[in-house]
Amino acid sequence: MNSFGRNIRVSIFGESHGAGIGVIIDGVPAGVELNEADFDADIARRASGALGTTPRKEADRPEVLSGLLNGHTTGTPLTIIFRNGNTRSGDYSQFMDLPRPGHADRVAAVKWNGFNDPRGGGHFSGRITLPVVAAGVVAKKILGDISIKAELTEIGGETNRENWKDLLNRTIAEGDSLGGIIECRTNGLPVGLGGPFFDSMESLLSHAMFSIPGIRGVEFGDGFAASRMKGSEHNDPYVDGRPAKNGAGGINGGLTNGEELVFRIAVKPTASIARAQSTWNFKNGSMDTLEVKGRHDVCFALRTPVIVEAMTALVLADQLVK
């Protein structure tokens, strides 16, 4: 099922080169102020154009089909669609025989007996994150004063931002691609969001994060490093009623503890690279050379922080809306 959430339920649909993509957000309270300009900033953050991102440009204008009247949500399902305009489907025809390494081309064709839409990755395209960002805009409005900030902290292992431009240019020149690490910090949360076990905040947030294409890891607070610490180091005694170190990343027993919610995600390097790759031709039954001519990001992690924020906002709004 392409849905997520219990109180705020998000359902996404669409293929990269189909008529359009979109999202239904069900459960939005009535009376939330919303107009189309509210989407601009986050859509721009996700959009292509910056160094290291694809030159494919879409108008990316949200069209609200339902659930909005006179600048306020109505309480019924809010539906937002985006038309797909600038598509060059011819680029993708070869991928039935020569599936792109690291993409879903092959598994999708097997799963759906060849009826999948292979154009531009179809439903697996990163383009599906556009309606997610739109849904995130709505979720952030619901969250009020709670602030969510996701940032790229590493590109290709490089943590010094000043070196990123050179690294990106060098990688573009090499016809290669890069991954990165994104850190997300949320402040202003009440104590007690989430639940024990299956509804733990970590479960809900990681579920959302791993939905984003190309994520390889999620860690909270001290994360993997915690496994190498002793209890006496890792434990976080209360000082003046608050955990002092926040190595748990704002979560105890699956519940928010009122401290800053902190997690990091690992983004893989873009699978589509400019240089030729030697891979299997399933039609011929032999190795062949694949050249991916589409327009792709050299480092899609650059565009991912706003998606991480959107997902986080959706998970939190689901907890806070009644």
Nearer Cβ to a second copy, position 76 or 187? 76
* Contacts to a second copy from residues 249-268, by CB under 8 A: 252-257, 266-268
Applying CB under 8 A, does 320 fall inside the site for a second copy?
no
Cβ closer to a second copy: 41 or 160?
A: 160
- CA angle, corner 212, sides to 207 and 216, nearest 5? 80
Q: Is 87 or 282 the residue whose CB approaches a second copy more closely?
A: 282
In the complex, the smallest distance separating the C-beta of residue 181 from a second copy, rounded to whole angstroms, is: 5
- Binding test (CB under 8 A) with a second copy, winner from 130, 143, 148, 215: 215
Residue with tokens 């650059």, as numbered in its chain: 302
Backbone angles phi, psi at 192, to 5 degrees: 105, 5
Bridge partners of 83, per DSSP, are 20
What torsion, rounded to 10 degrees, do the Cα atoms 184, 189, 192, 197 define?
-10
Residues 64-123 that bind a second copy (CB under 8 A): 64-69, 72-79, 81, 99, 101-104, 106-108, 110-113, 115-117, 119, 122-123
Q: Which residues have CB under 8 Å from 273's CB, separation 6+?
A: 175, 176, 177, 292, 296
**Smallest gap from residue 142 Cβ to a second copy (A):** 14
For position 51 contacting a second copy by CB under 8 A, the verdict is: no
Nearer to a second copy, 114 or 144 (CB): 114
Q: Which of residues 147-186 bind a second copy (CB under 8 A)?
A: 154, 156-157, 171, 174, 176-181
Residue 296 tokens read as 């792709």
Burial of 53 (0-12, 13-18, 19+ CB in 10 A): buried
- Bridge partner list, 186: 148, 261
By CB under 8 A, the residues from 113 to 142 that bind a second copy are 113, 115-117, 119, 122-124, 128
Q: Which two tokens stand for residue 65?
A: 């089909």
Nearer to a second copy, 43 or 155 (CB): 155
Backbone angles phi, psi at 168, to 5 degrees: -65, -45
